[in-house]
A and B are shown apart, each in its own frame.
Chain A
Amino acid sequence: MIIRDPVARSGQQEPSGHRELDDEEPEDTQLYEKLGELTRFIDKTIKTISQFSAPMSATTEQLPDATAYLKDLRKLTEDGTHRIMQLVEGIEENRKRADMQLDALVNGLAGSDAATVASKIMTIRATLAADNKPLMDIITALSFQDLVAQSVNKLVTIIEEVEHKLLELVVVFGPYTKGAGKAEASKASDMLKQLSATKNTSMKQDLADEILKQYGFN
Chain B
Amino acid sequence: MPADLNMKILVVDDMSTMRRIVKNILKQIGFTNMDEAENGQEALTKLRAEPFGFVVSDWNMPVMPGIELLRAIRADEKLKHIPVLMVTAEAQKENLIEAIQAGVNNYVVKPFTAETMQEKINKIFNK
Q: Is the CB of B25 within 8 A of A136?
A: yes
| A137 lies within 8 A of chain B by Cβ | yes
Q: B87-114 toward A: CB 8 Å interface, digit per residue (1/0)?
A: 0010111001100100000111111111
The secondary structure that dominates the A interface is helix
CA of A169 to CA of B110, assembled, Å: 39
CA of A205 to CA of B116, assembled, Å: 9
Q: Is the CB of B18 within 8 A of A137?
A: no
List the count of A-B residue pairs having beta carbons below 8 Å apart: 88
- From known contacts A78-B15, A150-B89, A217-B123, infer whether A143 and B97 are also in contact, taking CB-CB under 8 Å: no
Name the interface residues of A107-148: CB closer than 8 Å to any CB of B.
136-137, 139-147
Q: Which of A82, A144, A145, A202 contacts B92 (CB 8 A)?
A: A202
Q: Is the CB of A147 within 8 A of B89?
A: yes
User: Which single residue of chain A is at the shortest CB-CB distance from B107?
Assistant: A208
Q: Is the CB of A146 within 8 A of B18?
A: yes
Q: Is the CB of A212 within 8 A of B17?
A: no
Q: Is the CB of B16 within 8 A of A78?
A: yes
| From B106, B108, B111, residue with most partner A Cβ within 10 Å | B111
Q: Using Cβ atoms and an 8 Å threshold, which residues of chain B touch A215?
A: 97, 100
| B28 lies within 8 A of chain A by Cβ | yes
CA of A183 to CA of B117, assembled, Å: 45
Q: Which of B16, B28, B96, B110 contacts A147 (CB 8 A)?
A: B110
CA of A212 to CA of B85, assembled, Å: 13
Q: Is the CB of B28 within 8 A of A136?
A: yes
| A30 lies within 8 A of chain B by Cβ | no
CA of A139 to CA of B100, assembled, Å: 28
Q: Using Cβ atoms and an 8 Å threshold, which residues of chain B touch A76?
A: none
User: Which single residue of chain B is at the shortest CB-CB distance from A74?
Assistant: B15
Q: Is the CB of B21 within 8 A of A143?
A: yes
Q: Is the CB of A205 within 8 A of B109?
A: yes
B contact residues vs A (CB 8 Å cutoff):
13, 15-18, 20-21, 24-25, 28, 60, 89, 91-93, 96-97, 100, 106-114, 116, 123
Q: Nearest 4 A-B pairs (CB), nearest first? A: A202-B91, A146-B18, A81-B17, A205-B109
A contact residues vs B (CB 8 Å cutoff):
78, 81-82, 85, 89, 136-137, 139-147, 149-150, 201-205, 207-208, 211-212, 215, 217-218
7 other contacts beyond A143-B111, A145-B15, A208-B107, with CB at 8 A cut-off?
A85-B21, A143-B110, A205-B108, A205-B109, A207-B93, A211-B100, A217-B100
